[in-house]
Structure 1
């Protein structure tokens, strides 16, 4: 079943730039690798090759900021590679005052192998392990997932209980839901973010354009609704899938989020995030500025409190923390059983699944989640 899912993913989710935007050469003076096709390269950027547990070798770049206390692990969108993202990464490092590690998925840029859902999970795992080489701790890491990159970002996030934060930029509910508003998660769907976002324990920022014609803004709004730890979202009026970086509000809101995250104390006992008064007020902006999002058709959990209210309850007693942990464990067990039930239902009706996939066949081949190519076009028009 895993191979079948990866096969479906390869048909409609991955469009690496062809040819790649960069080549790699070794600087004779320093012995360091560098891009041969990127202008104005900076001395504070390390170019790396990382081995994944799938046997591929992926290319990554680490932007060092000596004054940074936090590090962003950036999973880029489709139709892009890190050669095209080089200047975006270096500028974000400066303006947000963070270290930043960006990487190419298998089959993208000069990374070996072919792209698949499971390979992207192995890719981000290798990138995250690389951060250990630089002494970056889990509690000082923020995951950034753009478009398709929201898939590997959330897959990694649910396994990191001490993660500092998550940023979702034009995220998807799942691969299939980009094309068709299915109400149940089907076995051949990929990047089932809708099922994973409720399991993320750290603050989550969602950014989405209201006029996104590739991934409707309802994807971002529904994911935000399902977050445990909501941070004030950014719905960029008039923004599409590929031009959000051009809006002044984009960078301002990212700075605001990073500032609030920096003021949070380090996680206690591997679970709790305890803000001081300033960060508590900043993170509670989500409650005061919450927009009325379209009701969820796939998943609803209106009983989950906001980040601020959860923090107040955490300060009560240890016994209440244990009780909540027990309840969360039961909820996760129930979700797991629900997903297994859905899987059994779909396998009980193989013809229905095949017919659904056949109907989507042409749509599958026509969909691409882009970012850099159309961003260039937008910039040229401005």
Structure 2
């Protein structure tokens, strides 16, 4: 989330209703695309072409088990999707909504490493205006984008909701919470989540205004699935208090992971991160389904 002057913030928040403008100013930083989809000789299929800026850390073998395709959202945008078969006998598929200022190309190496280590397949998508996805980033488009991804995952690969883990990171917690409040799934992971746009910009905000963007705090109590919240105690972008507030409002929250000393973008470097995810999948969810 990029810094704003007091004057810009006043313009945004003192002249409602302008939630889409709040959302765009506070949140969306699409990078120059780091990948392209090239037509495959097999009709209807695509090949993933990564640029150097994607910094891909694996080989062609991993690319060969990665499906890429386009679907369309209810708002008419084309949504780029990626499905990585990381674990042949995986019970769960993670529907991952990534953070800001990255696209699927930059995230692909992380997805392969994560899925391999937690024994899950990974499905992800780019928000409108990111990567090969068309349109402009907006709050409404975020919700339509994840809906399109959810339906593509279910219809194209036949994966049922009880085998889908919704995972949102930073701005990605916004579509994740929205979808999870409307559909039951195996579980939800909220990584460095925000309570709402106003509360990020003005930390003393105590109520949710009608023009507030990203009101996770109002939706999280409606999630019927188990929820794991992960937050760094030294998060410099979305204060640790956001994770705590969401945890308190979440009826099916499991034991959270508060990573002592971690900031906004380095939680994955701490050993507790993978340990807690594995325990969540192998123990917490196993107990739920026993």
Work out the CA distance in 2 between the residues paired with 1:119 and 1:193. 16
What is the correspondence of 1:98-177 to structure 2 with a 5 Å cutoff? 98-132=120-154, 133-161=156-184, 163-177=185-199
Work out the CA distance in 1 between the residues paired with 2:75 and 2:124. 19
Q: Counterpart of 1:70?
A: 92
Work out the CA distance in 2 between the residues paired with 1:247 and 1:157. 27
Q: Counterpart of 1:306?
A: none
Deviation at 1:6, TM superposition (A): 1.6
CA deviation profile, 1:27-58 (whole Å, cap 9, x unmatched): 55895321232543422110111100110001
Q: Please state if 1:249 is matched with 2:263.
A: no
Work out the CA distance in 1 between the residues paired with 2:165 and 2:47. 26
Deviation at 1:261, TM superposition (A): 4.7
TM-score (norm 2): 0.87
Deviation at 1:179, TM superposition (A): 1.5
Moved segments of 4+, more than 4 Å: 27-31
Would you say how many aligned residue pairs link Structure 1 and Structure 2?
265
Q: Counterpart of 2:22?
A: 8
Work out the CA distance in 1 between the residues paired with 2:233 and 2:50. 37
**Higher strand proportion (structure 1 or 2):** 2
Gaps of 5+ in 2: 1-14
Structure showing greater radius of gyration is 1
CA deviation profile, 1:59-91 (whole Å, cap 9, x unmatched): 110012321011110000111111110011111
Q: Is the 8 A contact 1:198 1:227 kept in 2?
A: yes
What is the correspondence of 1:269-284 to structure 2 with a 5 Å cutoff? 274-276=288-290
Q: Counterpart of 1:93?
A: 115
Task: Identify if the C-alpha distance between structure 1 residues 176 and 261 changes in structure 2 by more than 3 Å, giving closer, same or farther.
Answer: same
Q: Please state if 1:216 is matched with 2:230.
A: no
Q: Counterpart of 2:9?
A: none
**Equivalent residue of 1:235, what SS?**
strand
Work out the CA distance in 2 between the residues paired with 1:6 and 1:53. 18
TM-score (norm 1): 0.66
Q: Counterpart of 1:60?
A: 81
Work out the CA distance in 2 between the residues paired with 1:28 and 1:238. 50
Q: Counterpart of 2:65?
A: 44
Q: Is the 8 A contact 1:142 1:167 kept in 2?
A: yes
Q: Counterpart of 1:360?
A: none
Work out the CA distance in 2 between the residues paired with 1:21 and 1:70. 28
**Equivalent residue of 1:61, what SS?**
strand
CA deviation profile, 1:84-130 (whole Å, cap 9, x unmatched): 10011111111111111111000011110000000000000000001
**Equivalent residue of 1:256, what SS?**
helix
Q: Is the 8 A contact 1:26 1:34 kept in 2?
A: no
Q: Is the 8 A contact 2:199 2:205 kept in 1?
A: yes
Query: Higher mean Cα deviation, 223-232 or 27-36?
Result: 27-36
Q: Counterpart of 1:326?
A: none
Gaps of 5+ in 1: 265-273, 277-382
Work out the CA distance in 2 between the residues paired with 1:275 and 1:46. 30
Deviation at 1:11, TM superposition (A): 2.0
**Higher helix proportion (structure 1 or 2):** 1
Match of 1:35 among 43, 49, 61: 49
Query: Higher mean Cα deviation, 176-185 or 143-152?
Result: 176-185
